[in-house]
Structure 1
Amino acid sequence: MVMSKSLRFGALLASTNTVSGLAPLLSDGSEVDWWFAYKFNTASFPECSTTRECIFGGDVQNYPYGFGMQYLLSSGVGSQVKSATLHTDCIGTGSDPVANTFNQIYSGEAPNYVIWNDQFYEDPHIDLDPPCINYCGKPWGHSKGFMAWDANGEGVVVQSTT
């Protein structure tokens, strides 16, 4: 799963070496060559220290079994690597690497992008054994992510696998 230069979220982020423009971004908005975030499960690290928000649309959901959005983060620039550290803020909801990096697409900064999610909800009907009701949860795997690039072919790849 290593592409071009780097790693990322729940699974992995890859990026070409960019000086400016599209790049993996940290919580403070600074560019790095790569970052890797691992989101913990709800049972081990429940909830998070910041308020959940849906900054890219939608409404915050109240899940019957709770939620967990805390994560470990490591990043690198050149030969300098920052060790993984625990972040208790809610990943993906504000000033964090996932939200800041994705916002390059959402804000229109990225001229080219692809977004994928292989976990369909009710459409199309998938005939599998064991059967899926509204979507295929366990024991099936799930992948989602995005790729964005500029006219020079430089950009980011974010892949999440559960």
Structure 2
Amino acid sequence: MTAYRDGVRAADIRRGAGPARWWTVLGAADPAAVGAAAQRAGGRVAGDEVRDPLGGGFRVRAGAAAMVPGPGRPCWYEYMTADAATADRFHADALGLRAAAPPGTPEDSYALLTADGAPVAGRLTVPRRCGTCCRPAGWSTWRSPTPMASPTRPGGWVDGCSCRARS
């Protein structure tokens, strides 16, 4: 299923094994080159779907336009993983994204993924097991709050992990 807002593709969701989740869709001038780079970096490719070595997935499409900002639309993407080193290596080799801790952060649990020096997503390191709310490694899609957001109807996030890290 593809979700549209004002005629603009906003996100994809697909049935399959495991919990349903919104797919991150990346645009590329040459999706075949991205797929080949992903395979060289240890990923699996099937059509427009790319799976990294940790099992996280995204879709890559030619000419996918950047999302127009607005209420309820995707505004930020984060990759959640318990293995930051493997994730960072794959994203660098397959997508050309570089991980860098934001200035002033005391640890490496969060990094900005940058392209040409500009932040385009984040990478969050989560404990190997933090309760039952976390999914395996993969992308989370955050969306802008809608005017109807409230404490009982958050509206400010989609597919995020709300647990606290436990030792």
Decide: shared fold, TM above 0.5. no
Where relative contact order (Cα < 8 A, 6+ residues apart) is larger, the structure is 1
Whichever of the two has the greater Rg, that structure is 1
TM-score by length of 2: 0.26
Structure ranking higher in helix proportion: 2
TM-score by length of 1: 0.26
